[in-house]
Chains A and B, each alone.
Chain A
Amino acid sequence: MNKNYNLTTKIPRVFLHLFLIISSLIMIFPFIWMLISSFKPSIEVISIPFKFLPTKWTFSNYKEVLQTLPMLKGYINSLIVSTSVVCLVLLSSSTAGYLFAKLRFKGRESLFFFILASLMIPPQIGIIPLYFLISKLHLTNNYIGLIVPFAMSAFGIFLMRQFISGIPNSLIEAARIDGATDFQIFYKVILPLIKPALSVLGILSFLWSWDEFLWPLIVITQNNMKTLPIILGHFTQAEAKYPGQSMAAITLVIVPILIVYAFFQRYFVEGMSMTGLKY
């Protein structure tokens, strides 16, 4: 009986790990292939017969990419836009979160509903009118034009309201008796307590903003204002012609994010699962 039990559990455990190792490999195979291909001479990336490893390792793809594409400028643009978006989203979500969670005023529920309703409006709806507005204000090819449509997030406000609701009212009352204004309460009482939620929202909004494609595609036409996704977008037409170079460019874009992910992996994963459960 006991022996039988061991047999039925041990053999599946081997298969369990085998299966998971295979599926993990599937998950990272495209990245490994990208990295290896970026060191191949372009004719070897797609070749008959199929070769996984290059016959000669070369840096020429990287050299050409850095010479012909504004990669560095793209990094700077993407960093400026994404960090601004993250700062603005964190500021607006936390201040509004405190407002909706703890302060009472007439029309609170309807204002909150109004903000949540904007979640239901697909981004496609906003694109034509916002493009119209941004071009009327001469903000195309401008950081402000890239940042403003993402400066506040209904999702962020919702997340922060949920989180701040959990803070006991007695803390706020005590501060108020001591004569603190709401600005001081927010800064000294609320802000220190919501750091974990802020880091989650920060990571998420950074990833979303770093990845944003449709909006910059529409409002950016000048080369020196292009963000990284838009620079990579050039390769949709040219990829088959320059496979090695395109893999080198993608490696340059992806690897920094992967390094950050490797160090802060726990926060990324926990953040994602937290937002999943908060609904």
Chain B
Amino acid sequence: MFAEKLKKINPYMFTVILMVAAYFTIVSLWPFIFNLFLSFMKTDLISGYRFVGLSNYRFLAKDPVFFKSLWHNIFYILVLISVGITTSLVLSSLIYRTYGFSKKIYTALHFTPVVTSMVAVSLIWNLLYYPKIGVFAVLLTKFFHVQPQLFLADSKIALLCIIIMDIWKETGIRVVVLLAGMQEIPKTVYEAARIDGASPISQFFKITIPLLRPQITFLVAIYSINALRVFTQVFMMTGNPPGGPANSTKTLSIHMYQEAFYSLRFGYGATIAIIIFILLFGLVLFQIRAFKQTWEY
């Protein structure tokens, strides 16, 4: 009876299901549960755990650095999406108007920063942003006659400087995604508009943007999720401790990393991680709704 049942089992299914289920249980479900457990504990992971109830969450509700970091993430998302997508839309609609070899070259050049690593690129920009006498400071003074800037050392604009670098690095992906979308818009739509006397600019606003809605929604979704996780560029561009000067660039990930691995408050770190999860979950739910709307037109 048992042997018969065993014979019926498809070995391929059995192996793959077991492999996948075991892996995701250990690497994604268990960490989630363990993290939830940790958020009710006070622990340095070595000398044991002490149950503290909701006190981590109560501490979080009064932690000014947490709220500052949260605001920095929101600011990051807003600037990255609005400026990043606008510039990419302009660039991709310009590249769309070129042909053959020049089109390939423009696309490839705009895509170059995407393939290089964030750590390396952050270090290059660090030096370009060198205060007062760095390349950007000198160029800005020369062409726009502004005071030599401090950039990353200035707590008012440090975060913006990091976001500008990020926009520069990822422009290529957005351009490629938008170009692929533009290629799917039938040429006849533009012909008809041209015959009706629509200028290239009104074509852009009345045809291109509305028909690119699926791609734009996709980009908004991806980049808001990425901006909520942002870690490497802030860590690399703000020195020791990361998130400076004066916490002006601290994001939720950086705050969590410092609380857990610098201050060894793993319980509180886990609490911040849970909040990041809740935010991300909310964002994804919101975006699934937005996606549904785009399919309707």
Interface residues of A (CB under 8 A from B): 12, 16-17, 19-20, 23-24, 26-28, 30-31, 33-34, 37, 45-48, 50, 92, 95-96, 98-99, 103, 105, 111, 114-115, 118, 120-130, 132-133, 135, 148-149, 151-152, 154, 157, 181-183, 186, 207, 210-211, 213-214, 218, 228-229, 232-233, 235-237, 239-240, 243, 246-247, 250, 253-254, 257-258, 261, 265, 268-269, 272-273, 276-277, 279
What's the minimum C-beta distance from B70 to chain A, rounded to whole angstroms? 14
Q: Which of A27, A124, A154 contacts B109 (CB 8 A)?
A: A27
In the complex, A186→B252 CA distance in Å? 43
What's the minimum C-beta distance from B290 to chain A, rounded to whole angstroms? 13
Q: Which of A27, A105, A186, A247 contacts B113 (CB 8 A)?
A: A27
The 30 listed contacts between A and B (C-beta, < 8 Å) are A16-B97, A20-B106, A24-B109, A27-B110, A28-B112, A30-B113, A33-B128, A50-B138, A92-B20, A92-B23, A95-B19, A96-B20, A99-B13, A103-B10, A122-B280, A124-B277, A128-B35, A128-B266, A129-B32, A182-B13, A211-B118, A211-B119, A213-B232, A213-B235, A214-B253, A250-B124, A253-B120, A258-B112, A269-B108, A273-B176
- Minimum CB distance partner of B117 in chain A: A211
- Chain-A contact segment, one of B55-63, B155-163, B256-264: B256-264
Number of A-B contacts defined by CB within 8 Å: 253
Q: Which of A48, A127, A246, A258 contacts B116 (CB 8 A)?
A: A258
Interface residues of B (CB under 8 A from A): 10-13, 16-17, 19-21, 23-24, 26-32, 34-35, 38, 45, 91, 94-95, 97-98, 102, 105-121, 123-128, 130, 133-135, 138, 168, 171-173, 176-177, 179-181, 200, 215, 218-219, 228-229, 231-232, 235-236, 239-240, 252-253, 256-257, 260-261, 266, 269-270, 272-274, 276-277, 280-281, 284
A contact residues around B172 at 8 Å (CB): 27, 272
Q: Which of A95, A111, A183, A207 contacts B115 (CB 8 A)?
A: A207
Cross-chain contact B107 with A269 (CB below 8 angstroms):
yes
Q: Which of A24, A33, A123 contacts B110 (CB 8 A)?
A: A24
Does more than half of chain B's interface fall in helix, strand or loop, or is it mixed?
A: helix
Cross-chain contact A239 with B126 (CB below 8 angstroms):
yes
Q: Beyond A115-B24, A276-B180, is A27–B232 a contact (Cβ under 8 Å)?
A: no
B contact residues around A258 at 8 Å (CB): 112, 115-116
Cross-chain contact A214 with B231 (CB below 8 angstroms):
yes
Q: Which of A12, A126, A182, A237 contacts B240 (CB 8 A)?
A: A237
Cross-chain contact A33 with B135 (CB below 8 angstroms):
yes
- Minimum CB distance partner of A181 in chain B: B12
A contact residues around B27 at 8 Å (CB): 118, 126, 130, 148-149, 152
What's the minimum C-beta distance from B264 to chain A, rounded to whole angstroms? 11
A contact residues around B127 at 8 Å (CB): 37, 45-46, 239-240, 243, 246-247
Cross-chain contact B17 with A105 (CB below 8 angstroms):
yes
In the complex, A78→B274 CA distance in Å? 31
Cross-chain contact B11 with A125 (CB below 8 angstroms):
no
